[in-house]
């Protein structure tokens, strides 16, 4: 497993169904009780689902890569479900036979795992609690899931939840072994999403700077200045002297008609 734990996963609290009050659980189950049995595991229509997958294309791509790195490394049968922010399964990864009976019964991409649709499960509880949640065996409202232990973690980007990653395996296995694995995967997904968001912000900003006829070096210096980097750090990253950085910033101020750093940041921070 070399390389899989290169960076420490962000510490997150986690909860189980056993930690929740009976009154709270009863409230959750009342939502699901109103759902017609015939509609369980009913997927979204193809047109809407394809649009949903397109909106989440990058998330699916990153998650598929990070999840796939674990194939053949775990001693237990398992499968992963990636859901979007509304709880719809947008990617199912099942390298073992564990999920085959569930797939035959309707477990597939396009199914919504929200509380209203499938009652208490790993994804619905992570949606409700916005933390890592464990749901064991018969704690699931849907009988089909009673053979599983499920662990689910929200995936966040720019302080917003953009999806949920659930790891499921036989209920004979303890939940705890899966926590560091799932956190590691989600941590790497979030880092890549953050890098994507930063790069997009930089591109937007440079397009704005083009309107002021900033040179390539002026744009790089201005970008670092806007991110509140010191002149020394910008100099090191650009491979120039600190004095050159300060001269570039003066030219940026002149071209953008800003008098100081505060005004400069106030004017352009919206584009990051």
pLDDT, tens only, 168-223: 999 999 998 999 999 999 999 999 999 998 888 899 999 999 999 999 999 999 99
Residue 197: C-alpha distances to residues 62, 70, 188, 200 (Å): 14, 26, 14, 5
Q: What sign does the CA torsion over 169, 175, 178, 184 have?
A: positive
Q: Which run of H or E residues covers position 91?
A: strand 89-93
- CATH 3.30.450.40 for domain 14-197: yes
The pLDDT value given to residue 27: 80
Residue 253 phi, psi dihedral angles, 5° rounding: -55, -45
| 51's tokens | 């649009």
Q: What is the pLDDT of residues 29-48, one digit of tens each?
A: 776 776 666 567 888 999 99
Contact, 44 vs 55, CB < 8 A?
no
What DSSP assignment string belongs to 16-82?
EGGGS-HHHHHHHHHHHHTS-GGGTTPPPPHHHHHHHHHHTHHHHHHHHHHHHTTTTT-SS-EEEEE
Dist. CA 104–CA 91, nearest whole Å: 16
**Where would I find the beta strands (DSSP E) of 115-239?**
132-136, 148-157, 160-170
pLDDT in tens, 229-271: 999 999 999 999 999 999 999 999 999 999 999 999 999 988 8
Q: Which of 7, 126, 131, 151 is nearest to 66 (CA)?
A: 7
Q: Report yes or no on whether pTM surpasses 0.85.
A: no
Token digits of residue 67? 């999840």
- CATH fold for the domain made of 211-271: Arc Repressor Mutant, subunit A (1.10.10)
Domain ranges of the chain: 14-197, 211-271
């Amino acid at each position: 497993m070399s390389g899989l734990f290169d960076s420490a996963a962000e510490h997150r609290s986690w909860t189980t169904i056993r930690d929740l009050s009976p009154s709270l659980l009863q409230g959750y189950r009342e939502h699901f009780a109103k759902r017609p049995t015939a509609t369980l595991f009913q997927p979204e229509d193809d047109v809407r689902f394809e649009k949903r997958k397109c909106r989440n294309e990058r998330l699916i791509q990153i998650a598929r890569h990070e999840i796939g790195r674990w194939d053949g490394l775990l001693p237990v049968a398992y499968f992963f479900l990636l859901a979007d922010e509304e709880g719809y399964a947008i990617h199912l990864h099942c390298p073992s036979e564990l999920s085959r009976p569930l797939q035959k019964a309707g477990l597939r991409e396009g199914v919504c795992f929200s509380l209203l649709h499938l009652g208490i499960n790993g994804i619905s509880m992570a949606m409700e609690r916005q933390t890592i949640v464990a749901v064991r065996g018969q704690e699931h409202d849907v009988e089909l899931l009673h053979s599983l232990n499920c662990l689910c973690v929200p995936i966040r980007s720019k302080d917003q939840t953009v999806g949920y990653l659930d790891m499921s395996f036989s209920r004979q296995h303890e939940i705890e072994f899966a926590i560091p694995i799932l956190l590691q995967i989600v941590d790497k997904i979030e880092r890549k999403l953050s890098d994507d968001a930063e790069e997009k912000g930089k591109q937007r900003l440079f397009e704005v700077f083009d309107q002021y006829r900033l040179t390539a070096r002026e744009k790089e210096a201005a970008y670092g200045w806007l991110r509140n980097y010191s002149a020394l750090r910008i100099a090191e990253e650009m491979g120039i002297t600190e004095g050159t950085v300060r001269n570039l910033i003066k030219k940026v101020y002149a071209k953008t008609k800003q008098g100081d750093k505060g005004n400069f940041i106030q004017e352009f921070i919206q584009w990051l």
